Amino acid sequence: MTVSMGSSTFTSGIGYIAHDFDVSILAATLGLSLYVAGISAGPLVFAPMSEVYGRRAVYVPTWALFFLFQLGCSLAPNIEAFLICRFLVGAFGSPVLTVAAGSFSDIWKTHELGPPLGLFTMTAFLGPTLGPVIGGFIVEYMKGESWRWCFWIQVIITGAMIPAMLWLPETYAATIIEQKTGKPLRRKSKPEVFGTAIWRPLQLLFLEPIVLLVSLYISFLFGILYLFFGAYPYVFHKYHGFSPSQVGLSFLGIALGVILSLPTAGIANKIYLRLRAENPHRDTMAEARLPVAIPAATIAPVSLFWFAWTCSSKIHWIVPTISGVLFGWSMVILFICQISYIAETFLVYSASVIAANTIMRSLFAAGFPLFGRNLYAVLGEKWAGSLLGFIAVAFMPVPWAFYKYGGRIVGGGWYERDIEKQGEVRRADEGV
6 with 130, same domain: the answer is yes
Q: What phi, psi does 24 have (nearest 5°)?
A: -75, 165
181 with 232, same domain: the answer is no
For the ranges 110-114, 274-278, 347-351, 424-428, the one whose mean pLDDT is highest: 274-278
Q: pLDDT above 90 covers what percent of the chain?
A: 44
Whether 168 has a pLDDT exceeding 90, the answer reads: no
156 with 238, same domain: the answer is no
181 with 241, same domain: the answer is no
- Torsion angle in degrees (nearest 10) through CA of 394, 33, 90, 120: -30
250 with 323, same domain: the answer is yes
Q: Which residues contact 35 (CB under 8 A, 6 or more apart)?
A: 6, 7, 86, 87, 89, 90
288 with 401, same domain: the answer is yes
Which pLDDT score, from 0 to 100, does residue 394 have? 96
Give how far the C-alpha of residue 167 lies from the chain's centroid of Cα atoms, to the nearest Å.
26
Q: How far apart are CA 1 and CA 127, in angstroms?
A: 5
Find the CATH number of the domain harbouring 240.
1.20.1250.20
Mean pLDDT (the chain, rounded): 85
Q: How far apart are CA 94 and CA 402, in angstroms?
A: 30
pLDDT in tens, 140-149: 888 666 789 9
353 with 380, same domain: the answer is yes
Total count of domains within the chain:
2
Q: Which residues contact 431 (CB under 8 A, 6 or more apart)?
A: none
Q: How far apart are CA 162 and CA 142, in angstroms?
A: 26
Which DSSP state fits 347?
Answer: G
159 with 216, same domain: the answer is no
pTM of the predicted model as reported, rounded to 2 decimal places? 0.86
pLDDT in tens, 301-355: 999 999 999 999 999 999 999 999 999 999 999 999 998 888 888 876 777 787 7
Which pLDDT score, from 0 to 100, does residue 194 have? 67
277 with 407, same domain: the answer is yes
For the ranges 11-20, 69-78, 98-107, 123-132, the one whose mean pLDDT is highest: 69-78
326 with 298, same domain: the answer is yes
pLDDT in tens, 72-82: 999 999 999 99
228 with 360, same domain: the answer is yes
254 with 145, same domain: the answer is no
- Torsion angle in degrees (nearest 10) through CA of 42, 329, 315, 370: 20
More confident residue, 189 or 100: 100
Concatenated DSSP letters for 260-275? HHHHHHHHHHHHHHHH
Which pLDDT score, from 0 to 100, does residue 428 have? 44
Question: Which residue, of 138, 164, 187, is where some domain finishes?
Answer: 187
Q: pLDDT above 70 covers what percent of the chain?
A: 88
Whether 158 has a pLDDT exceeding 80, the answer reads: yes
Q: What domain range includes position 331?
A: 190-431
